[in-house]
Structure 1
Amino acid sequence: MTLGSGPRELVVLGTAGAVPTRERNHNGYLLRWDGTSVLFDPGEGIQRQMLHAGVSSPRIERICVTHRHNDHCLGVPGVLNRMAQDRPGRELTIHGPQDAVEHLHGLAVVAQANVRVRVQGHPALQEEVPVADVAGSALTARALDHRVPALGYRLTEPGHVTFSREALAAAGITGPDVGRLQREGELRGVRLEDVSTRRRGQVFAFVMDTRLCPAVGEVVAGADLAVLECTFAERDVDLARARGHLTAAQAGDVAARAGVRTLVLTHVSARYRGEELGREARAAVAAAGGRTTVHVAQDLDVVAVPPRRGRG
């Protein structure tokens, strides 16, 4: 099912929890962003899912892994071999927590693919850690709370200033003075906000296996599109806490309070139907007074990043 189209969109390759089912493949999420692609948490079978989804491996510049559990990274060897078939000798960076570096190196070695792989480990800190530049947007990570060190990822586009030609003409500002006004914020009594509109950049957030903790809300704060796990229903909240996961209601509540525009729920345990989890998440959004749109992902869904908003 396609929810939207455009150059910025999420292709859902797999949505199962620890165990795949007849309807759900292991994890896998591809973010298309301004001509490049980032692959998140490729579990087993993702190479085949890429074929079903029409995903082109040459556009994948990096793989981001949240933690070293195999349902989130066992697909790395197959993906590397696919890349070697499509473009031999290419370069690729795999990101993950420092705790996962040895494991990710091993997966790359097992692949024996003609791909120049760089595995980059990042510290799991209670603050944003720079990861990479993705087509001019900043990819960062911070620690979550799972049974092993885990990272949540956030991709933030810089804000933009759009000038009004009419307002500039009325203020008598032309040529190089336009750039000076943008740099200094005020020129000859004219303020930048008087002749322009500030448009916030888009934000994408990705949170997989974690207990509910303040970091979840911080990673997804103000996100236009956020992917959150919802392994358990609220009736099993104690089990979720013990195993280091979120419930659907917790995901909905935190997304609503953080101002997420579209929430994609995934990592669904085989014990549930997606409809039940969707109802719980939507009820939590309503109870929090939020306006978040909730979508329970199915394999091969394509979800567009919502269009940019104006001032902000």
Structure 2
Amino acid sequence: MVNMKLIFLGTSASTPTAERGLSSMVIQRDGELLLFDAGEGMQRNFIRSRLGMNKRMKIFVTHMHGDHCIGLLGLLQTLSLHGRLIPLDVYGHGKLDEFLKENMRIVNFGLGFDVNMHTIRSEGVVVREKDYEVTCCEADHLIPSFSYCLVEFDRPGIFDVGAARRFHIPEGRLYGILQNGEDIVYNGELIRSCQVIGQPRAGRKIGISGDTRPTRKLRDFFRECDLLVYESTYGQDRYNKALENFHSTALEAASLARDSGVRKLVLTHFSTRYKETSVLLNEARSVFRNTEAAEDLKIVEIPYKESVS
């Protein structure tokens, strides 16, 4: 089993407040860090979260607005000054590569590790690893913007030791072969993996909206997320402002989560007009009860479905 949790490093929209930094969150999974957005100054909460400076890391940027990408410069320099040696991968719009290279040239700082830049040119799979993938979908914002999903692949079913013993299979190497989904021949008899392995167990799915209006495409993209982190810049009192600036209200975020069959919704990216988030949370819970409001340094554990009673 792989432990996974999400940590919010910044939850304010456009400008920071005394309590909230700019947009950034990280999924900590099996010793790897998957960072989504890097608003200005986010490395401070990165340090406070004790995430580690030399971990395997991928960074995904939703769009090229300053409150989502400017902090990438400071984060990279901080990692280098703390002695990072492991390369990291950065994924985003084509202008992101230009932004980093030009600013590093102007400021004149180098890094002690390699940064591999990956330009996202279309929707679909952004990166695929052996047990998960990250996909993207076009969001509806003022400039080109992506939403992301981290999708774990199904895990093998539980090995039935009792069934294996009924076939008189000795413990050891043959157990491992069957657990890997391969069939064996033992004592002249074909024994299929499915005869001793239960049904595959679903992996987890986490959605990250970035800045966007709600759309039918995103509703389908986020379908059956175990956790959806969705922007709710405004309440319904500022609905026209949400339309004008291509953001979402808390009620719209909750409606999309409900229609997508999401298990849990966490609201983030709050306008500084809201000194506290209870009004936004109440609006969202009126249509989707299992909703929480993000806070800087808030930790959200993400259990497997079978671990939830």
Q: TM-score range by the shorter chain?
A: 0.7 to 0.9
Question: Is residue 2:212 matched to residue 1:214?
Answer: no
1:10 alignment partner in structure 2: 6
For residue 164 of structure 1, report the CA deviation from its aligned partner: 2.0
Unaligned runs of 5+ in 1: 1-5, 287-292
For residue 264 of structure 1, report the CA deviation from its aligned partner: 1.5
For residue 188 of structure 1, report the CA deviation from its aligned partner: 7.8
Partners of 1:84 and 1:190 in 2: CA distance? 51
Percent identity, aligned pairs only? Answer: 28
- Secondary structure at the residue paired with 2:67? helix
**Contact (CA 8 Å) 1:217, 1:255: kept in 2 or not?**
yes
TM-score, normalised on structure 1? 0.84
Which of 277, 281, 292 pairs up with 1:295? Answer: 292
Partners of 2:179 and 2:228 in 1: CA distance? 37
Partners of 2:293 and 2:218 in 1: CA distance? 18
For residue 230 of structure 1, report the CA deviation from its aligned partner: 0.6
Question: What pairs up with 1:67-146 in 2 under 5 angstroms?
Answer: 67-109=63-105, 110=107, 112-114=109-111, 115-125=113-123, 128=124, 130-134=125-129, 136-146=131-141
**Contact (CA 8 Å) 1:37, 1:62: kept in 2 or not?**
yes
With over 3 angstroms needed to count, the CA separation of the structure-2 counterparts of 1:257 and 1:171, relative to structure 1, is: farther
2:306 alignment partner in structure 1: 309
TM-score, normalised on structure 2? 0.84
- Secondary structure at the residue paired with 1:226? strand
For residue 165 of structure 1, report the CA deviation from its aligned partner: 2.4
Aligned length: 294
1:290 alignment partner in structure 2: none
Give a deviation string over 1:107-138, Cα, whole Å, max 9, x none.
4544723132222110243xx2x222357311
Unaligned runs of 5+ in 2: 184-188
Partners of 1:207 and 1:56 in 2: CA distance? 26
Question: Is residue 2:245 matched to residue 1:243?
Answer: yes
**Contact (CA 8 Å) 1:159, 1:200: kept in 2 or not?**
yes
Partners of 2:203 and 2:137 in 1: CA distance? 20
- Secondary structure at the residue paired with 2:80? helix
**Contact (CA 8 Å) 2:207, 2:227: kept in 1 or not?**
yes
- Secondary structure at the residue paired with 1:58? coil
Larger Rg: 2
Question: Is residue 2:15 matched to residue 1:19?
Answer: yes
For residue 13 of structure 1, report the CA deviation from its aligned partner: 0.8
**Contact (CA 8 Å) 1:234, 1:249: kept in 2 or not?**
yes
With over 3 angstroms needed to count, the CA separation of the structure-2 counterparts of 1:134 and 1:257, relative to structure 1, is: same
Deviates more, 1:64-73 or 1:158-167: 158-167
